[in-house]
Every structure is written in structure tokens, then in C-alpha cells.
Chain A
Amino acid sequence: MPYRLLRFALQSKYSEPRMFRSPERLQDEYDVVIIGGGGHGLAAAYYLAHEHNITNVAVLEKGYLGGGGTGRNTAIVRSNYLTPEGARFYQASLELFQDLSRQLDYNLFYSERGHFTLAHSPASLRTQRWRAEVNKQLGIDSEMVDTAFIQRKIPEIDITCGGHQAPIYGALYHPPGAIARHDAVAWAYARGADQRGVEIHQQTAVTDIEVRDGKVAGVHTDKGFVKTRKVLSAVAGWTTHITDMVGIRTPLVIHPLQAMVSEPLKPWLDHIVVSASLHLYVSQSSRGELVAGGSLDPYELISSRSTLEFAEGLGGHMLDLFPCLGDIKVLRQWAGLCDMTPDFSPVMGTTPIGGFYIDAGWGTWGFKATPISGNTMAWTVARDQDHELIEVFKLSRFTDFALVGEKGAASVGH
């Protein structure tokens, strides 16, 4: 190891191969421009090149790769959703995830943990029964379990919540629920896309989109104009900024979502534990940190600031479930921007502007959908036609009154 390190001192150039190239300048024209170098945009770039042989693609990223929602989520993957459309979509994503480390030849630390959604009332037991039955119909491994089962699987949990909260009545148990290294997902897709000819431009902001006769003609950036007929917007919390450029109205409202991690502990929590009533989800990462997230901040805000109120509230609720954590310290906390939709489903596919495709409305449920959204958006962009898995998520559902109500399964705290 010291000799490997010594190479860096002795050579003027960085002596390790980089994950992907950093092109000096933009070309004049691309077949497809993808705005946003997060997991979704990079996955779409990868599948465009890998499955559709479209390689003259540029991914434009204002900051650095995976610095937005991709690097700020709590890295949970599951498919136990409420609507058949949603459950089918997320199940396809989970299946892609299960084989992704091998396909991308990169260790994503994909770790199946088993996912508990706790019910603190008879009413939530009913919703969970509904979810379990929808899931089973679609072949998704999902079932109701009683408190004895929960206690056996998670001995540290306090079923009574210390008497401070309503006790646990039961849970929806989803054995394939998993966590993954979220940064690695972005990097692996970036490397795979780069190897197939896609250009990744970091520190490149899109300033305007040229639309002529209702069709995309090009993209203005802070490094000049590029011609293109197809633009995919995959910028989650910044989507309204992009849709304003092309004059599309959306239902998106931006709220921050905060999360935090504890100091690293020896492994003790095998499972992912979610409690909608306590506004909490928690898992233990491969580094030993407890990764915990809460509900959305209660009002609209386009800022990723953190608050003490959040840390106090989430910490208190973690102690209700796990009194053994009394002496554990919070290591860091952060926030990400969530582009929330009224029905808690994403907005995907073609738009009224020819050649402008949207992948947005990822609110608090985007990370788990990274592979399937990249895959279906690449299909959609390549053929200029909505993929059958995402037809129900199109933007026009808000003018057709055809919403896909996923609130009961997509987030906590409502």
C-alpha cells in the first residue's frame, strides 16, 4: 500500500485511471442532451447507449455527479407500493437492482435486509393489508406480520413505544427490501455510459432551451449553445426551473426532506424499519451508521438547509422505537429537495413540446426507481413514445384528472 501511495508523490499526473472522461469542450451537436447528472440521468444515458445504440449523448450537470437527490436519500429499495401501476413499476426497478452490480461490474453494496412498515393503528393495518394483497397479486413478496414476529426479528424494538406513542399493532413485511450505496449507483452508470461513448460534462449549467415551432432545437449552456432535437430533463428538485424554460406548467411543489446519520455502531439492526406514524425510517449502513430520514419539511422551500427541530423530532421518535440508542450521537444531518406531486407518483415521458422529455416528480421516492426510470426513459427518448410501464405517469394526467394515488405507500408523515 505505501508503494501505491508513493506513486502519487512521484508522478506529476494522477496515476490511477478515472471512472470516466472529462471532455474539454461541448460538441456542436448531440442526438440527445440529458440535463442532470444524477442517478436517473446517468442511467438513462447508459441505457440509451447500451440498449438503443444511441451514443452521441451529452449529460450536462450543473454541479457534480450525484450531488442532488442521488446523494441525499436514505438509499432504500423496495416495491411494496399501493397501486398496481406503481407496484409493477417499482418491482421492475428492484429486479434490475438485484443484478445491477454484476451488469455494471461495480460493487453497489446492494444488501437485502427485509423491510418493515410498522402500523400504529387499526387504520394503518387496513391500508397495509390492502398493500399486501395488491403486492401478492403481482408476485411481490409482501405480507402482514404480527408483533411477535417483529419482536423476534428485531429484538431491540420497543413494541409499546415506551407508552409515549401509540403501540405497534403489526407490520407490512417485505423481505426483498434492500439498501444500496447510492453514490456508487451514479458512478457505475456514469462509467458504463462513458465506456459506450456518452460525454459527461460536469460544472455545465443549462441556461435556456431553444424551442422552434413547438419542437426542441437546442440547449443554451454557460459553455455555449449545442444543437439537439431531444432533451431529457432529469433534475428532480430543480425541474420547475427547466420546465419554465420551455413554458410547461407542472403540479410540482418543492419541499426539503431532511435526514441524518448516527456515529458508526457495531452491526445490530439487520432490517429496514419504517414508521409512518412516527415520521421515521431507519436502517444501518455497511459502515455501521444508522441512516434515518423523516417526513417532509412542513412548508414549501427551495433550500437544503437543516434544522434543529428536525434532529430533535427524529431523535425523539427513534428513542421511542429503540430506547437502547439513548447514548448514541448524531454524526451529521442534511437536506435534499423533493419535487412533490399531488398524487405521490412521478411525472415521466413525452410532453406537449416535441423532443422534450421529462423525468420528474420524484419527491421522496426517487432512488429506488433509478434503474427502471433510466431504462424506460431511454426507451421513450429513443422511440419518441411512452414506454408501457410509465404511460400512467405522464404529465397530462393532471389535465385528464387521471391521477395515480400512491400517498399511502410512497412516504411517511401524512
Chain B
Amino acid sequence: MKILTCPVNGPRPLQEFQYGGELREMPDPDQANDSGWADYVFHRSGEPAIKREWWYHLPSGTWFVAERDNRLDEIVRTYLYDANREIGK
């Protein structure tokens, strides 16, 4: 992967981006018990997959979502975060 497509600025070299980790749903802090909260804070799914991840375009300050195959290192697609769209996925 050398080029990443920012949903706002188009295809840009990878050096302009920063990885922000997997996109995960945060449980309600007031409702979650200790083990549920610990699971959210620490545990990850480490297996090869196409994952939804946070990426940040440094020059323009844009956070967006990329679906990436973390074994082949290939981007499937990128788009701006939309809370309504992410829920239930």
C-alpha cells in the first residue's frame, strides 16, 4: 500500500496519513460492567480480515474510515464516518 484515497482530498501518498486503530463501538460507560469495559479497552481481534479502521489525513486534518485487508495490505474502500451508517454493522 503506497497510496491511500482520502474521501475529501483524493489519492495521496501514504506518508501523509496516520493510522488510528480499528473502528470499535464503545459501550455506554455508565452501563458497562468492569469486564465489559476491560474487554473494550484492551481486547482486539487479531485475526487476518478486512477491517474498518480509523485513518487521519495529516495536512487537512481529516479523520475517515478505511476498510483494509490487513493481510494483503490492500484498501477496499474509504469514506467519511457516519454514525448512523456504522451502527448495526
Chain A: residues with CB nearer than 8 A to chain B?
239-241, 243-244, 249-254, 298-303, 305, 309, 339, 342, 398-401
Q: Nearest chain B CB to A259's CB is how many angstroms away? A: 19
Whole-angstrom CA separation of A240 from B22 in the bound complex = 16
| Cross-chain contact A399 with B71 (CB below 8 angstroms) | no
- Which of B15, B39, B44, B71 is A252 in contact with, Cβ under 8 Å? B44
Chain A residues within an 8 Å CB radius of B44: 250-253
Q: Could you show 14 A-B contacts with beta carbons less than 8 Å apart? A: A239-B46, A240-B46, A244-B47, A250-B44, A251-B42, A251-B43, A251-B44, A254-B46, A298-B19, A300-B51, A302-B70, A303-B72, A305-B73, A399-B42
- Which of B18, B34, B39, B70 is A249 in contact with, Cβ under 8 Å? B39
| Cross-chain contact A250 with B38 (CB below 8 angstroms) | no
Q: Nearest chain A CB to B55's CB is how many angstroms away? A: 9
Q: How large is the interface on B (under 10, 10 to 19, 20 to 34, 35 or more residues)?
A: 20 to 34
| Cross-chain contact A401 with B18 (CB below 8 angstroms) | no
CB under 8 Å from chain A, chain B span 37-74: 38-39, 42-48, 51, 53, 70-73
Q: Nearest chain A CB to B62's CB is how many angstroms away? A: 17
The B contact surface, by secondary structure, is mixed
| Cross-chain contact B48 with A302 (CB below 8 angstroms) | yes
Does B35 have its Cβ within 8 Å of any Cβ on chain A?
Answer: yes
Chain A residues within an 8 Å CB radius of B18: 298
| Cross-chain contact A241 with B47 (CB below 8 angstroms) | yes
Chain A residues within an 8 Å CB radius of B46: 239-240, 243, 250, 252-254, 339
Whole-angstrom CA separation of A131 from B44 in the bound complex = 30
| Cross-chain contact B72 with A399 (CB below 8 angstroms) | no
- Which of A239, A244, A399 is B38 in contact with, Cβ under 8 Å? A399
Closest to A244 in B: B47
0/1 interface trace, chain B 3-38, chain A, CB 8 Å (1 if under): 000000000000100110010000000000011001
Whole-angstrom CA separation of A35 from B3 in the bound complex = 38
Q: Nearest chain B CB to A21's CB is how many angstroms away? A: 34
Whole-angstrom CA separation of A342 from B41 in the bound complex = 10
| Cross-chain contact B71 with A401 (CB below 8 angstroms) | no
Whole-angstrom CA separation of A399 from B38 in the bound complex = 5
Chain B residues within an 8 Å CB radius of A342: 42
Whole-angstrom CA separation of A251 from B73 in the bound complex = 21
Whole-angstrom CA separation of A399 from B18 in the bound complex = 29
| Cross-chain contact B43 with A398 (CB below 8 angstroms) | yes
| 4 closest A-B pairs by CB | A240-B46, A299-B19, A398-B42, A251-B42
Closest to B55 in A: A299
Whole-angstrom CA separation of A250 from B45 in the bound complex = 8
Whole-angstrom CA separation of A303 from B72 in the bound complex = 7
Whole-angstrom CA separation of A251 from B71 in the bound complex = 18
Chain A residues within an 8 Å CB radius of B45: 240
- Which of B22, B43, B48 is A250 in contact with, Cβ under 8 Å? B43
Chain B residues within an 8 Å CB radius of A303: 71-73
Q: Nearest chain A CB to B59's CB is how many angstroms away? A: 17
| Cross-chain contact A301 with B70 (CB below 8 angstroms) | yes
Chain B residues within an 8 Å CB radius of A309: 15
Whole-angstrom CA separation of A94 from B7 in the bound complex = 51
Q: Nearest chain B CB to A345's CB is how many angstroms away? A: 13
Chain A residues within an 8 Å CB radius of B47: 240-241, 244
Whole-angstrom CA separation of A401 from B39 in the bound complex = 11
- Which of B15, B38, B71 is A398 in contact with, Cβ under 8 Å? B38
Whole-angstrom CA separation of A252 from B46 in the bound complex = 6
Q: Nearest chain B CB to A336's CB is how many angstroms away? A: 15
